[in-house]
Structure 1
Amino acid sequence: MASSLRHFAGLGCFSAAASSSASTSFLPGYAPDFCVFVALRPIKPPATAVANPPASPSPLEEEHRQQAAVPWHSDDPPAPSVPAPLRVGIVGFGNFGQFIAGGVQRQGHTVLAASRTDYSAYCAQHGIRFFRSVDALCEEQPDVLLICSSILSTESVVRAIPFHKLRPDTIVADVLSVKEFPRNLLLEVLPPGFGIICTHPMFGPESGKHGWGKLPFVFDKVRVADDGDQAATCDRFLSIFEQEGCRMVEMSCAEHDRYAAGSQFITHTIGRVLSQLNLSSTPINTKGYETLLQLVSGLVHS
């Protein structure tokens, strides 16, 4: 092919020279058309187009691929399992019971409630299972049974609980503002294997409405196993209040009552007296008067 092109190129040069000199042409009237030979040139074949190029793997897919490539060994420690949420049964679901239930739920645990008053509508709105009787609640076997009744009704409430329907390692706790009374009552009534925690949140729906941060939470592990499931349940129950920001104060029930005898007596006595005066806010309140109004409001609503 190359020699043929050189041959015709030479003819073309000769023809051009002959026509310019007006001499006799070797091939009269012939003018080669080199364009016809363009198709004879070797052409590099075009790169084959890929219709659908493979997509680059996402970072998550690449991570999974790398993890799958790591060899598994039978002696590798198993991944830690996430414990199931605690199931906290609340007996007495008035204002304070509902208030405590909010903190329990915020920490991802399940609330079951029983009360003489029908709170089924409230519970349905807040994702809480409501039971018409304590017997029905105990059949669900909660991990912790929290007594939120009043001081006057606590003994009758506790003695009516069907403890035989609960698991033998269930923890029973209370939230009364006095501590030796429920401690002695629970030690008398509960079967030997049951755990007992006496607690007193030193706040209520009014003082804790903006959060529980730095508010004192007093507790006494009256009877809790040193290890095993009951000890773990106790720690997880107390961690509800710790994670809510409470200042955790562990002290005996007797010590609590010695402190409370003075501080709570004077606070509640003054608050009750002031509440009978029907105090109301004025346009010219002093700071001291505002403090008294807040004291009355806090005690009445808590």
Structure 2
Amino acid sequence: MIFALFGHGRFGSAFADLLQSAGHTVRIHDPHAEVPAALACPTPAAALAGAEWVVLAMPVPRMEAALRELRPLLDARHTVIDVGSVKEHPCSLLDEYLGDAVPHAGTHPLFGPLSLARGEPLRVVLCASARHPQAAERTQALFESLGCAVIPQDAATHDRAMAKTHALAFFIARALVEMGVGDDLSMAPPSFLGLANMLAAVRGDAGHLFAAIQRENPYAEAARAELLEHLDAVHRRLLASDDALAIPPPAS
């Protein structure tokens, strides 16, 4: 199959490699990045020529402008997916700009260059558009063919879950990186080494991923505030020599 990929950042580059390793043809248009000459297309129309799949892999804040530019070139022959780490806003943009005319689905691959390099299991969240159930079926089949476990979910539930996981993990890791924590792991105990992957992900981020998962997720701000409240409460209990510091069991 032929894929038109718009965006060649860290994830777009890794996803292009994954598609090519599965035998697909990839054409890339990204005026903001250095694209390998064999894959680069000078215009969106050149990237779309003969393509069945259209992958929006640009930073989330650029997505609306990209859809506005691409819309006159798209029709029912294409299936459009985005790969953003938040889903409510991107999915609403897909519905708004593509409507009933162009099949589309929202996705969030829960992997990146680091996890691909480590050979970790691949998972992807699939947020179907009610207008295009068949596009969701095709998208699920595509990711399964790439070796991914697919998790169907609605966009709001996805973003709430990401606010309490993805967004908080990056928030904590960003603070640790800015403190210089983890620069020297020679004496780090095993309990800390579990954070190493999170720190590496933040260090490797170009900046737009952190901004997107914090600012574009409508539930992230409340999650950060709740975390800070709990950190402050634990801090105060430590200062007060409170003995009731046992970790409560997970909610059933």
Distance 1:294 1:194 in 2: 38
2:193 maps to a residue whose letter is E
**Candidates 203, 206, 225, aligned match of 1:300:** 203
**Candidates 137, 145, 154, aligned match of 2:54:** 145
Matched, 1:251 2:158: no
Q: Which residue of 2 aligns with 1:268?
A: 170
Deviation by residue 1:84-113 (Cα, 9 ceiling, x = unmatched): xx1111101111101111221122111111
Q: TM-score, normalised by structure 2?
A: 0.72
Deviation by residue 1:57-108 (Cα, 9 ceiling, x = unmatched): xxxxxxxxxxxxxxxxxxxxxxxxxxxxx11111011111011112211221
Matched, 1:219 2:126: yes
Of structures 1 and 2, the one scoring higher in RCO (CA 8 A, sep 6+) is 2
Distance 1:135 1:259 in 2: 37
Distance 1:197 1:123 in 2: 29
Distance 1:196 1:225 in 2: 7
Q: After superposition, where does 1:173-252 map in structure 2 within 5 Å?
A: 173-213=81-121, 215-223=122-130, 225=132, 231=134, 235-252=137-154
C-alpha displacement of 1:114: 0.5
Q: Which residue of 2 aligns with 1:115?
A: 30
Deviation by residue 1:234-291 (Cα, 9 ceiling, x = unmatched): 6454334223332210111121112112112211100111121233124322113322
Distance 2:33 2:164 in 1: 36
> Cα–Cα, structure 1 residues 212 and 159, in superposed 2: closer, same or farther, change >3 Å?
farther
3-state DSSP of counterpart to 1:160: helix
Q: Which residue of 2 aligns with 1:19?
A: none
Instruction: Tell me the percent identity.
Output: 25
Distance 2:130 2:2 in 1: 20
The answer (yes or no) to whether the contact 1:141–1:165 under 8 Å persists in 2 is no
> Cα–Cα, structure 1 residues 179 and 118, in superposed 2: closer, same or farther, change >3 Å?
closer
> Cα–Cα, structure 1 residues 299 and 285, in superposed 2: closer, same or farther, change >3 Å?
same
Distance 2:157 2:17 in 1: 29
3-state DSSP of counterpart to 1:130: coil
Deviation by residue 1:131-180 (Cα, 9 ceiling, x = unmatched): 12324323x1411111001122222222222x332333311110111101
The answer (yes or no) to whether the contact 2:82–2:105 under 8 Å persists in 1 is yes
The answer (yes or no) to whether the contact 1:89–1:111 under 8 Å persists in 2 is yes
Aligned residues: 204
Which structure features the higher share of helix residues? 2
> Cα–Cα, structure 1 residues 245 and 299, in superposed 2: closer, same or farther, change >3 Å?
farther
Q: Which residue of 2 aligns with 1:134?
A: 44
Distance 1:234 1:106 in 2: 23
> Cα–Cα, structure 1 residues 242 and 100, in superposed 2: closer, same or farther, change >3 Å?
same
The answer (yes or no) to whether the contact 1:141–1:167 under 8 Å persists in 2 is no
The answer (yes or no) to whether the contact 1:118–1:132 under 8 Å persists in 2 is no
**Greater Cα radius of gyration, structure 1 or 2:** 1
Q: Which residue of 2 aligns with 1:281?
A: 184
> Cα–Cα, structure 1 residues 182 and 200, in superposed 2: closer, same or farther, change >3 Å?
same
> Cα–Cα, structure 1 residues 291 and 134, in superposed 2: closer, same or farther, change >3 Å?
same
Q: Which residue of 2 aligns with 1:158?
A: 67
> Cα–Cα, structure 1 residues 236 and 105, in superposed 2: closer, same or farther, change >3 Å?
farther
Distance 1:191 1:137 in 2: 22
C-alpha displacement of 1:224: 6.0
Distance 1:244 1:167 in 2: 25
Distance 1:283 1:264 in 2: 27
CA-atom RMSD in angstroms: 2.2
Distance 1:158 1:171 in 2: 13
C-alpha displacement of 1:115: 0.2
Q: Which residue of 2 aligns with 1:168?
A: 76
1:143 maps to a residue whose letter is E
